[in-house]
Amino acid sequence: MRAEAHGTLKKFVWIVVAVVVALVVLTWLTPFLQGYEVKTACKLLCTDMIRVKAEREMAERNGNTPAFGDPQAREAFIRRTRQATVRFDMGDYDADCGAYLDKDQPHCFSHSYSYDPQNKQHICKIDVRYRSDTAPALVGDVLQELPHLEMQHHIDITQRVNATY
């Protein structure tokens, strides 16, 4: 009889440990998935910057104003990051966002575009800095007093795209 109770207690402890580990993994997984979505938004911003260059050249040839420019590319980037629950607005665009030690501005992004004619490559440099505030998985909505996982993220991407692609 004693061995049976000991076995049941042991199973209960293993179940509790498994649930706690699963909650910790789910909590830590959320900011990294969010970072993946922001990196994807950065890569799409690079595609938009290439499009801005093409639109500008085509508009100059036709004598029109470009239909798609830097403000539209930034708005598309902001929309994409909001889908990842990162709150940017147009005021968060800062050319010096790469200065990671400046913690006064927790949310900022910057981008630059250049073309390398020798290698025939578009070069996009994007810096993004944001803070994430993740509630504990599943129980964070119920027990709102639990401490949140707060992290400062810095994403620095230099993407090279072949012009013939």
How high is the pLDDT of residue 20?
83
How high is the pLDDT of residue 43?
92
How high is the pLDDT of residue 63?
86
How high is the pLDDT of residue 103?
59
Each residue's pLDDT tens digit, 29-42? 888 888 899 999 99
How high is the pLDDT of residue 138?
67
User: Mean pLDDT, 10 residues at a time, over the chain (165 residues)?
Assistant: 66 88 81 89 92 88 85 90 82 74 73 90 90 73 71 88 78
How high is the pLDDT of residue 150?
80
pTM: 0.77
Contact 86, 132 (CB under 8 A): yes
